[in-house]
Structure 1
């Protein structure tokens, strides 16, 4: 069976022009070098060198085999490099998903861009899912990393939820809404307002947090005629269907017909990073690139 050592020795002899010069460059005995070449010729069933008194010359078979031997060694080197980079988390494909209320902007986008700039061998496949769906897919290994809003209703074994950042919530209303001219409003003023984002019994995230904040203020949010948990809620607000509590990071996504108003209460929302515990070096390296919440 042909070995990579034999290929390497064969190419070295052809490049250096003699067995003695090759043995010096390879730091092995000339007899051992000759034995390896004979074994290679035996495996191929043909001579690769014409042994002469002055210096070996490639046979026709050797001349034909040389470029192929170089190509095989080069491919092996590429494969070895790729394996090492993947093993060290420097190359590969990652699947990332984010909640509709976690826009890839600001520090999140800057972190991803910086990481990919430093790891040209890594590529990212990005999708959008609810927080609970992300946890399910990470658990079942259909997804590698999730960016979601707390709280989640079901914590799954083997999945890390690492808080990344907190941001203030604001009231989003249509430009024609009765509260649109206010600088600040209180949650208690929203008792009779229809909310276009209502918590689902099987989902956590921002809508669940909004309901908790409203209940702390003494009421449960009233559902609008049309509700949504996606970024389409901004269009629903603009059309006047209702209001919602949204993080400040969504302000850049808001159309002109939506006004964001400060809340008198200190309402905060937390974005978390989700990934499998003890995952591959590729995933660990990527997750470690995100700053930890102070």
Structure 2
């Protein structure tokens, strides 16, 4: 077995191209080379790594467990080579890396963060650092979620829910940006919102929230499952049910719904960022986190929340 440190950047690009495209021929087309050249390169890469990285078949090439891990490392190494170039150019010009931050910034975010949290932040970021090119990928915050995108090397930073049933994976760094409360949301003017069915969606899965729900005998089991929080809000606005939703999901709530504070014992959700230690130190990620912290220094509370003046909408002790 050859030392895997002998892997070249081009070999890393081949690994990533196959993993992303699912075939040697598609990877060859992406890289502007031949399928035989890709096949030869993969045999050499596997020899250096000491593991089979792709299961070859008539329908293409599927990464093995070793191949998935190798491709994730390859993406992250290639990204760090980009960061090396940015920092080196800054040093050559005698400017700080922060001032010289440029190039793509890959961000993974769950839906409500991408809709309501990121746009103003990215506007300020690109105004101050016009060389940065944000590229946002919307990911469902279930299973690996946005943190999984960072681990896989597809994102430099993820906007994630922290402290939930899925903890931050080892090897990543994280920081809380905002603690957002959950609230009861129901059709405006409904005489007995607690009699309505509960509308829910898969991502609304904070372990603390679930425990809180289980202790509230006034909340029924969910009978309507929606695809995402936007669909939940639309169902509630249409009068089809009530929901327990975090503040970020309610940032653009229509006037046809009423949002009621659940009181001092209400559940909350921590929203923050995750990155690798290496990329967290890069100029672009530091600049993004700085803008996020400046924009979100306290709890997110929509201005239309009510504090319990609708007796039937507020849980009883």
Report the CA distance shift for 1:207/1:82 in structure 2 as closer, same or farther (over 3 A). closer
Q: Tell which deviates more after alignment, 218-227 or 152-161.
A: 218-227
Conserved? CA contact 1:193–1:222, under 8 Å: no
Counterpart-to-counterpart distance in 1, 2:138 and 2:238:
24
Shift of 1:241: 3.0
**Residue 100 of structure 1 pairs with residue 111 of structure 2:** yes
If the length of structure 1 is used for normalisation, what is the TM-score? 0.57
Counterpart-to-counterpart distance in 2, 1:263 and 1:81:
48
Specify which structure has the bigger relative contact order, considering alpha-carbon pairs within 8 angstroms and separated by 6 or more residues.
Answer: 1
What corresponds to 1:120 in structure 2?
130
Counterpart-to-counterpart distance in 2, 1:221 and 1:102:
28
Query: Which has the higher Rg, Structure 1 or Structure 2?
Result: 1
> For 1:26-84, what per-residue CA distance to the aligned partner results, in whole angstroms no more than 9, with x for missing partners?
xxxxxxxxxxxxxxxxxxxxxxxxxxxxxxxxxxxxxxxxxxxxxxxxxxxxxx98962
**Residue 137 of structure 1 pairs with residue 149 of structure 2:** yes
Shift of 1:138: 0.9
Identify unmatched segments of 5+ residues in structure 1: 1-79, 181-189
If the length of structure 2 is used for normalisation, what is the TM-score? 0.53
Q: Does the residue aligned with 1:232 lie in a helix, a strand or coil?
A: helix
Post-superposition, which runs of at least 4 consecutive aligned residues in structure 1 deviate over 6 A?
none
> For 1:69-126, what per-residue CA distance to the aligned partner results, in whole angstroms no more than 9, with x for missing partners?
xxxxxxxxxxx989624992510101212222335446x5444322221111001112
**Residue 273 of structure 1 pairs with residue 285 of structure 2:** no
Shift of 1:281: 3.6
Question: Of residues 195, 198, 201 in structure 1, which corresponds to 2:198?
Answer: 195
Counterpart-to-counterpart distance in 2, 1:102 and 1:125:
14
Shift of 1:222: 0.7
What corresponds to 1:237 in structure 2?
236
Question: Of residues 88, 91, 115 in structure 1, which corresponds to 2:97?
Answer: 88
Counterpart-to-counterpart distance in 1, 2:170 and 2:241:
38
